A and B are shown apart, each in its own frame.
Chain A
Amino acid sequence: MACVYIPVQNSEEEVRVALDQLPRDASDILDILKAEQAPLDLWLMIAREYFKQGKLEQFRQILEEGSSPEIDDYYADVRYERIAILNALGAYYSYLGKIETKQREKEEHFILATQYYNKASRIDMHEPSTWVGKGQLLLAKGEVEQASAAFKIVLDGDRDNVPALLGQACVEFNRGRFSDSLELYKRALQVYPGCPAAVRLGIGLCRYKLGQFEKARQAFERVLQLDPENVEALVSLAIMDLRTNEAAGIRKGMLEMQRAFEIYPYCAMALNYLANHFFFTGQHFLVEQLTETALAVTNHGPTKAHSYYNLARSYHSKGDYDKAGVYYMASVKEVNKPHEFVFPYFGLGQVQLKLGDLKSALSNFEKVLEVYPDNCETLKVLGHIYVQLGQIDKGMEFMRKATKIDPRDAQAFLELGELLILSDTGAALDAFKTARILFKKGGQEAPIELLNNIGVLQFERGEFELAQQTFNEALGDGIWVTFIGDEKKSSASTIQFKDMKLFHDLESNGHHVEVPWDKVTVLFNLARLLEQLNKSGTASILYRLILFKYPDYIDAYLRLAAIAKAQNNVLLSIELVNDALKVNDKCSNALSMLGELELKNDDWVKAKETLRAASDATDGKDSYAILSLGNWNYFAAIRNEKRNPKLEATHLEKSKELYTKVLLQHPANLYAANGAGVVFAEKGHFDVSKDIFTQVQEAASGSVFVQMPDVWINLAHVYFAQGNFALAVKMYQNCLRKFYYNTDSQILLYLARTHYEAEQWQDCIKTLLRAIHLAPSNYTLRFDAGVAMQKFSASTLQKAKRTADEVRSTVAELQNAVRIFSQLSAASNLHIHGFDEKKIDTHVGYCNHLLSAAKVHLEAAEREEQQIRQRQELARQVAIAEEARRKAEEQRKYQLERRKQEDELKRVQQQEEHFRRVKEQWKSTQGSKRRERSDDEEGGTNEKRRRKGGKKRKKDKHSKSRYDTEETEADMMGEQEVEDEDVDYGEPKTQMNDDDAEENAQGLLAAAGLEDSDADDEPAAPSAASRRRRALSESDDDEPLERQSSPIRENSADLHESDGEIRDRDKTYRDDASDEEKQD
């Protein structure tokens, strides 16, 4: 056993002190040392021994005694030992300061250490070991540059000073100059090959940092050979093994970590890594324990950051966002620059996002992005945040970048698609489709929401088949398949909109009627699509299926109500809407629809209340409700039967105000714009309204959900009011064809009115007939047709020149008119149309009068015609006589000739006969006689036949000539038109009469609905102004009937689709930590 011998003063004796048997109380030794005035190196040796044995108190006591002022005095000339003692103390306090975690005590230790070193320097300011100690102290304090200066002083004196070399290596390492550091370590090792394992650890770390992992590993392993308990080497090796990212490597790494932990349980690094590991295995309790320990034992910023991060992550994944946020924040505080350790920023961002602090989250994610500019997750999250903050463009930019960087990230495409929906549905659809393909390629099932979105977009673009496929794919298998496939079942149960028996039956039959919550939206959208495809039966079942399982699904009620409404089943529709209101009596959609239905039911006051309620339910933010109110006011303005101009103006003003309000909220609201246009038109500002309508019309084309026939009609009204009849006609016709399958009698009425105004009587009448055919029970149309015929007739009779045919057709039309009016008159007893009987009688009377007038005309025309015909007849007869004479002559000649021929023939025959007779006589038999007789007969018939033929020919000729004369007659009639003027008997009289009648007719017309629709539609049309006045003056005693028929369909600011139309685009934003965390 090693001993020290303390020489006894003034003697040859020595006190032997066994180093392993040092007394517990250092004072004993101290007494001896003092008493014997032992050399200082012995003091140092004993102190070191205490230190080695862990008896720090004794160590400190001896050294402090050894550096006391008395000693200084006494050993004043022993410089080196005194310095050594001071340096030892300095190093001791440096070490204390280094491991101390409490800031104040740490400071105190460092101060003490500094004092000792300074004292040592005062003894000899060139002593290298002092400088090395100072360097170490500065390093411990983190003052790297000064430390470097201290080491440099030493190395300048002795370039092989090992401690200084090591110190400098450490400095270089801290400065990040790993290759310089490596060189220094190497040199230290060369100079002093037996130096402790720690030097090799330094080499290993340098190599690791330089990326020379194999050499680093060798170095660490060498360290462990030399010192199997070297925790740092173990941890380093473990980290390297963990980094291999292979199962075997990780397992080995964890074993090493564990060993390190067992050897020294307070190595923060090991603790952190262990915590990290347990985080992934989900043992959160362990994570917290380990990290808390790590935090307690280390003062090293980055390590602490790591610990906090681990802790935060643990809480984050447990869903304790508040705590997670606190720890992330702590972690972030420990990190000086995001570049060093960026993960807590990400985590903090996530937590802040979760807690709704978008701005802070944004700044944190942006820091992450600075470090990793191409990180997809960060780009996506940033994109998402920007969108949330309303900076759509910026959000989109980030998303685009994310998809560009990783074109296989389905999630990114999905989110990009969701962003694009707002602006560019086509691009959105493309993005969604890409996402879907990516999901498929990855062997994953595409999320239902994604398919739903694709389906909806396809639906919107009118690709109904595709949309249906998509929805079906999203729905997969389920109870609904039985309804979608089987039309028979669906047709049978459409009968009752509220019938749930079907489902009860299915359930009692053992079927499981189940609708997963995440498929309800898709089911709803599919039903909506089926509606569009006219399969309202199946749609109705699907809606009911939804309601069967989810009786609070208001939109399903509303769609059912909409289907009922489309079938004109108003009462049922109202009932269904009320069901929806039972679920939520503040649902503005339901209230709006109810209002609409009440309007349809002619329940004005109630409708207004309901619409108000709808508007109030949304604090006046629901454009639909406001628009409806606007419409209500507009209707009220034009509906009033007595046309109170003041009231009208108020209502118009009010409706304009409401439309404007909507426009302010939503400048792109087509319906509001349309409404505003209508009000302008009502006030006579046709140019303004035309501009508005044209713009709305342009905007409205393109989506299957926007169907705005009204704007077409309004535009046509404006053209009409401006006298541009041709364009108006075209516009009405296009509208009819495009939106109504030509089934709207109301537009036909507008069309007829335009024709009427353009004096295209036949078109007008035809159009009215079509309208009657479409709406047989609308007697007003019949009345209008009668008026049109009457007007046509009157105008024809007024014409200066007309043919008998024209007059004849006039008479026919008049007869039709009379028939129509008399029918109406007869029907009026039945009170089925409500026309004023007297008025119809007036029309009948007038028509009859016209008819009689026309008869005079007709007679005149016919007389003229007759005369002409007589003249022609005469001429013809002359011609015929001539012809007959000629023919007779010819005949005579012919017959003469024939007789001659016959005579000749007879003569020849006679001669022949004679000759034969002579011959007979010669032969003289009985048979010959008989023969002779038959021959004779033959000749007779021959002749007869020939005569007959001649007669026939004559007849032919005769009939042909008659045709000829008829043709010429027709020609002459044509000519006669020109000289018709001389047929003006009685013209002055009828003319006057006509004028009279004209006035009368105009008045009557004003009465008849035709004129009325004018008054309604374009009140201030300059051309119609005078007529309108008349219309107004007469409208009091005239039937108000037509008014209802001209109600301007502008009503339509009625957004057909809002009937519970929703297009769900389910957003599922996933910011649960686990997803993104995986990339760590």
Chain B
Amino acid sequence: MKLGGIKSVENAHDDSVWAVTWVPATQTRPPLLLTGSIDETVRIWRSDELVLERTNTGHSLGVVSVAAHPLGSIAASSSIDSFVRVFDIDSNATIATLEAPPSEVWQMRFDPKGAILAVAGGGSASVKLWDTSTWEIVATLSIPWPEGPGPKSTDKSGSKKFVLSVAWSPDGKRLACGSMDGTISVFDVPRAKFLHHLEGHFMPVRSLVYSPFDPRLLFSASDDAHVHMYDADGKGLIGSMSGHSSWVLSVDVSPDGAAIATGSSDKTVKLWDLSMRAAVQTMTNHSDQVWGLAFRPPGGDLRSGRLASVSDDKSISLYDYS
């Protein structure tokens, strides 16, 4: 397996780019790339030339997460001011503006069927699930407080269970969320029930992703510079991969399930061969922290794999994955 650089767009945004996701192709158009930045805009790019299609404004304070519906028609973007804007990709019409105070908004993900939008709720120690037809909250998945004396755990750094990241299992039945203290919580979505914690990290988990084929296999990226592999149902830590020299900010798994890519504060993007559990390639396109990366979802007549990464250096890089 190999990554090959295709194109980089310098100054894709006016300032640091913090979020990236692929919008799946629809019948009328090919897949698009969606990026969000501290410059308060969301931009839409046409692959592979990375031509800017549109710039969406309307957020104040930096855009921290973008998510695209699996059907490719709608997308959501969220910013530090804790508003989620749901919009039509082709027309940029606002479909809904979501907020659930006092819960703030961090990472968002649509479930694989597109019926629910999961939003990591930061200090509320919960994940909010929004129905994508009515845009009402259908459930709040709360992380139970750890046993033991309650008040003592209220550190000055805020709640220990500050929820940063979410991931859906490929069958849509499980949801995992990562928090500031490094624990990962797993929920049974149909029953809206907390299942268990996955331990192993002790620093913030900023990104999580399930393997596309194995609904139990979960990858997590943490500030401790490690990527962990968990058996999400069996509570077991399967493996731990080290190689980055600073925080691992994002992780995504390739559509074929054979590799994962990670982006790190050490400015690199690494490709890991899961059969060897070792980094096989390190890309150094970026000159600052790589906040996000995403493999293009398969579908349509697209054979070739694509990976996009975004960074504090204001640029977007696109790679061929084969």
Q: List residues of A whose CB falls within 8 A of some B CB.
A: 487-488, 491-492, 494-495, 534-537, 566-570, 740-743, 766, 769-770, 772-773, 775-779, 785, 812, 815-816, 819-820, 822-823, 826-827, 829-834, 1041, 1044
B265 closest partner in A (C-beta) = A741
Contact (Cβ within 8 A) B123 A568: no
Q: Complex Cα distance A590/B15, Å?
A: 45
Contacts of B1 in A (CB 8 A): none
Contact for B242 among A535, A777, A827, A831, CB less than 8 A: A535
Q: Complex Cα distance A770/B162, Å?
A: 18
| B218–chain A nearest beta-carbon distance, Å | 15
Contacts of B182 in A (CB 8 A): 568
Contact for B62 among A487, A494, A773, A778, CB less than 8 A: A773
Give 25 pairs: A residue, B residue, CB < 8 Å, sorted on A: A488-B276, A488-B278, A492-B238, A492-B239, A494-B240, A495-B239, A495-B240, A534-B244, A536-B242, A537-B240, A566-B224, A567-B202, A741-B265, A742-B288, A742-B312, A772-B80, A776-B104, A777-B122, A777-B159, A820-B81, A822-B101, A823-B82, A827-B123, A833-B158, A1041-B156
Contact (Cβ within 8 A) A487 B247: no
Contact (Cβ within 8 A) B154 A832: yes
Central interface residue in A742, A778, A1044, by most chain B CB within 10 Å: A742
Q: Complex Cα distance A773/B64, Å?
A: 8
| B128–chain A nearest beta-carbon distance, Å | 15
Q: Complex Cα distance A743/B245, Å?
A: 12
Contacts of A826 in B (CB 8 A): 101-102
| A619–chain B nearest beta-carbon distance, Å | 36
B238 closest partner in A (C-beta) = A492
Contacts of A536 in B (CB 8 A): 225-226, 242
Q: Which positions 154-195 of chain B face chain A at CB distance < 8 Å?
A: 154, 156-159, 162, 164, 180, 182
Contacts of B64 in A (CB 8 A): 773
Q: Complex Cα distance A740/B267, Å?
A: 11
| Given A537-B240, A769-B62, also A567-B102 (CB < 8 A) | no
Contacts of A537 in B (CB 8 A): 240-242
The binding surface of chain B is classed by DSSP as loop
Q: Which 5 A-B pairs have the closest CB atoms?
A: A826-B102, A777-B158, A568-B202, A777-B162, A741-B265
Interface presence of B200 (CB below 8 A): yes
Contact (Cβ within 8 A) A534 B225: yes
A815 closest partner in B (C-beta) = B60
Interface presence of B296 (CB below 8 A): no
Known: A494-B240, A823-B102. 7 other contacts (CB 8 A): A567-B202, A569-B202, A826-B101, A830-B102, A830-B123, A830-B159, A1041-B156
Q: Complex Cα distance A742/B18, Å?
A: 14
Contact (Cβ within 8 A) B102 A488: no
A494 closest partner in B (C-beta) = B240
Interface presence of B320 (CB below 8 A): no
Interface size on B, residues (CB 8 A): 58
B229 closest partner in A (C-beta) = A491
Q: List residues of B whose CB falls within 8 A of some A CB.
A: 15-16, 18, 38, 60-62, 64, 80-82, 101-102, 104, 106, 122-124, 151, 154, 156-159, 162, 164, 180, 182, 200-203, 223-226, 229, 237-247, 264-267, 276-278, 288-289, 312
| Given A487-B276, A534-B243, also A829-B226 (CB < 8 A) | no
A566 closest partner in B (C-beta) = B224
B275 closest partner in A (C-beta) = A488
A565 closest partner in B (C-beta) = B202
Contacts of B154 in A (CB 8 A): 831-832, 834
Q: Complex Cα distance A720/B286, Å?
A: 31
| Given A492-B239, A779-B123, A816-B61, also A823-B101 (CB < 8 A) | yes
| Given A487-B277, A535-B242, A812-B60, also A827-B102 (CB < 8 A) | yes
Contact (Cβ within 8 A) B265 A777: no
| B165–chain A nearest beta-carbon distance, Å | 10
Contact for A816 among B38, B60, B245, B267, CB less than 8 A: B60
Contacts of A567 in B (CB 8 A): 201-203, 224-226
| Given A742-B288, A773-B18, A776-B180, also A830-B124 (CB < 8 A) | yes
Contact (Cβ within 8 A) B243 A535: yes
Q: Complex Cα distance A568/B205, Å?
A: 12
Q: Complex Cα distance A741/B18, Å?
A: 15
Contacts of B239 in A (CB 8 A): 488, 491-492, 494-495
Number of A-B contacts (CB under 8 A): 139
| A542–chain B nearest beta-carbon distance, Å | 13
Contacts of A495 in B (CB 8 A): 200, 237, 239-240
Contacts of B240 in A (CB 8 A): 491, 494-495, 537
Contact for B80 among A568, A769, A822, CB less than 8 A: A769
Contacts of B242 in A (CB 8 A): 494, 534-537
Contacts of A812 in B (CB 8 A): 60
Q: Complex Cα distance A764/B245, Å?
A: 28
Contact (Cβ within 8 A) B61 A769: yes
Contacts of A535 in B (CB 8 A): 242-243
Contact (Cβ within 8 A) A777 B157: yes
| A1021–chain B nearest beta-carbon distance, Å | 26
A567 closest partner in B (C-beta) = B224
| B178–chain A nearest beta-carbon distance, Å | 12
Contacts of A815 in B (CB 8 A): 60
Contacts of A775 in B (CB 8 A): 157
Contacts of B164 in A (CB 8 A): 776
| A568–chain B nearest beta-carbon distance, Å | 4
Contact for A776 among B16, B101, B122, B289, CB less than 8 A: B122
Q: Complex Cα distance A819/B105, Å?
A: 14
| Given A741-B289, A832-B154, also A816-B202 (CB < 8 A) | no
| B273–chain A nearest beta-carbon distance, Å | 10
Q: Complex Cα distance A741/B266, Å?
A: 6
B312 closest partner in A (C-beta) = A742
| Given A769-B80, A823-B104, A1041-B156, also A777-B288 (CB < 8 A) | no
Contacts of B38 in A (CB 8 A): 766, 769-770, 773
B247 closest partner in A (C-beta) = A743
Q: Complex Cα distance A776/B160, Å?
A: 11
| A468–chain B nearest beta-carbon distance, Å | 15
Contacts of A740 in B (CB 8 A): 246
Contacts of A1041 in B (CB 8 A): 156
Q: Complex Cα distance A823/B121, Å?
A: 13
Contacts of A777 in B (CB 8 A): 122-123, 157-159, 162, 180
Contact (Cβ within 8 A) A742 B265: yes
Q: Complex Cα distance A831/B159, Å?
A: 9
Contact (Cβ within 8 A) B158 A832: yes
Contacts of A743 in B (CB 8 A): 223, 246-247, 265, 289
| B309–chain A nearest beta-carbon distance, Å | 16
A826 closest partner in B (C-beta) = B102
Contact (Cβ within 8 A) A834 B156: yes
Contact for B123 among A566, A570, A769, A832, CB less than 8 A: A832
B162 closest partner in A (C-beta) = A777
Contacts of B159 in A (CB 8 A): 777, 830, 832
